[in-house]
Amino acid sequence: MPRIVRDADVSWEGNLARGTGAITAASSGAFEALGYSLPTRIAAPEGKTSPEELLAAAHGGCFTMSLAGELTGAGTPPGRLDVHCRITMDEIEGRGHLIVHSALDVHARVAGLDDAGLAQAVDAAHAGCSFSSLLRDAGVETEITTTLEGGD
Amino acid sequence: MATDRTAKVTWRGSLMDGSGRIEGVGSGAFGPLDVTWVSRADTPDGRTSPEELIAAAWASCFSMALSHALAGAGTPPERLETSATVTFQPGEGILKGAISVVGTVPGVDHPTFLEHAEGAKVGCPVSKALTGIPEVTLDATLATA
Could you tell me the residue ranges of all domains in chain A? 8-41, 51-148
Residue B76 contacts A, CB cutoff 8 Å = yes
Residue B119 contacts A, CB cutoff 8 Å = no
Confidence category of residue A152, pLDDT binned at 50, 70, 90: very low
CB contact under 8 Å between A5 and B28, yes or no, is no
Tell me what the mean pLDDT of segment A78-100 comes to. 96
Residue B138 contacts A, CB cutoff 8 Å = no
* Interatomic CA distance for residues A86 and A141, integer angstroms: 12
* Interatomic CA distance for residues A132 and A125, integer angstroms: 9
A61, B9 Cβ separation under 8 angstroms? yes
pLDDT of residue A141: 96
The two beta strands, B79-89 and B93-104, are antiparallel
Rounded to two decimals, what is the model's pTM?
0.97
A30, B46 Cβ separation under 8 angstroms? yes
Residue B67 contacts A, CB cutoff 8 Å = yes
Q: Is the peptide bond before A2 cis (omega within 30 degrees of 0)?
A: no
pLDDT above 70 coverage of chain A, percent: 97
Chain B residues near residue A36 by CB distance under 8 angstroms: 60
Minimum distance, in Å, between the CA of residue A127 and any CA atom of chain B: 11
pLDDT of residue B144: 77
Check whether A90 has a pLDDT greater than 90.
yes
> What homologous superfamily does CATH list for A51-148?
K homology (KH) domain (3.30.300.20)
Chain A residues near residue B89 by CB distance under 8 angstroms: 1, 3-4
pLDDT of residue A13: 97
pLDDT of residue A2: 76
Backbone angles phi, psi at A107, to 5 degrees: -115, 120
Minimum distance, in Å, between the CA of residue B120 and any CA atom of chain A: 12
User: How many degrees, rounded to 5, is the angle at CA B22 between CA B15 and CA B95?
Assistant: 65
- Contact residues for B75 (Cβ-Cβ < 8 A; gap 6+): B105, B106, B107, B108
The SS3 assignment for B37 reads helix
| Check: complex ipTM more than 0.90 | yes
Check whether A89 has a pLDDT greater than 60.
yes
DSSP E strands in A14-149: the ranges are: 20-25, 34-36, 80-92, 96-109, 141-148
Chain B residues near residue A6 by CB distance under 8 angstroms: 44, 49, 51-52, 54-55, 85-86, 88
CB contact under 8 Å between A4 and B60, yes or no, is no
Chain B residues near residue A125 by CB distance under 8 angstroms: none
Check whether A151 has a pLDDT greater than 80.
no
Nearest Cβ partner of B57 from A55, A79, A85? Answer: A55
CA-based nearest residue in chain A for residue B94: A130
* Interatomic CA distance for residues A61 and B57, integer angstroms: 14
DSSP E strands in chain B: the ranges are: 3-12, 19-25, 33-35, 79-89, 93-104, 135-142
Tell me what the mean pLDDT of segment A10-24 comes to. 95
The SS3 assignment for B34 reads strand
Tell me what the mean pLDDT of segment A65-89 comes to. 97
Q: pLDDT tens track of chain B, all 145 residues? A: 799 999 999 999 999 999 999 999 999 999 999 999 999 999 999 999 999 999 999 999 999 999 999 999 999 999 999 999 999 999 899 999 999 999 999 999 999 999 999 999 999 999 999 999 999 999 999 997 5
pLDDT of residue A112: 94
Residue ranges of domains in chain B, CATH in brackets? 7-41 (no CATH), 50-142 (3.30.300.20)
Minimum distance, in Å, between the CA of residue A147 and any CA atom of chain B: 14
Give the up-direction half-sphere exposure of residue A75: CA atoms within 13 A in the CB hemisphere: 3
Confidence category of residue A82, pLDDT binned at 50, 70, 90: very high
Check whether A77 has a pLDDT greater than 60.
yes
CA-based nearest residue in chain B for residue A103: B6
- Contact residues for B144 (Cβ-Cβ < 8 A; gap 6+): none
